[in-house]
Amino acid sequence: EIVLTQSPDTLSLSPGERATLSCRASESVTSSYLAWYQQKPGQAPRLLIYGASSRANGVPDRFSGSGSGTDFTLTISRLEPEDFAAYYCQQYAGSRMYSFGQGTKLEIK
């Protein structure tokens, strides 16, 4: 099973700043199968990025994804108040199993 490790666990930033979230896989992941989700308290997760770098429908262009192999990054170029939430990366390696990272909580500084 591929394990995804996200860092940091918590990121404290101010609105207007740039956020960089990391997701590292224990084995190489096909980029087509790497996604990022945003989850706010009491809500279901929302798909932000799929295929490592493609934005889902309706996602603002301040969100971008990059990376390949075992290292992937979600970048929020300029934080808006509504961006403070938990973020999860997720992979599918073709082994008939999916896994999620443990999450990064993005909080207001």
Partner 1 sequence: QVTLRESGPALVKPTQTLTLACTFSGFSLTTSGMCVSWIRQPPGKPLEWLARIDWDDDKFYNTSLKTRLTISKDTSKNQVVLTMTNMDPVDTATYYCARLIRGGYASGSTDAFDIWGQGTVVTVSS
The residues binding partner 1 (CB under 8 A) are 1, 32-33, 35, 37, 43-47, 50-51, 54, 56-57, 88, 90, 92, 96-103
Question: In the bound complex, what is the minimum distance in angstroms from residue 77's beta carbon to partner 1?
Answer: 22
Phi/psi for 74 (5° steps) reads -110, 125
Question: In the bound complex, what is the minimum distance in angstroms from residue 82's beta carbon to partner 1?
Answer: 18
Report the candidate in 1, 5, 65 with the shortest Cα–Cα distance to residue 34: 65
Q: Are 89 and 101 in contact (CB under 8 A)?
A: yes
Nearest to partner 1 of 13, 86 (CB atom): 86
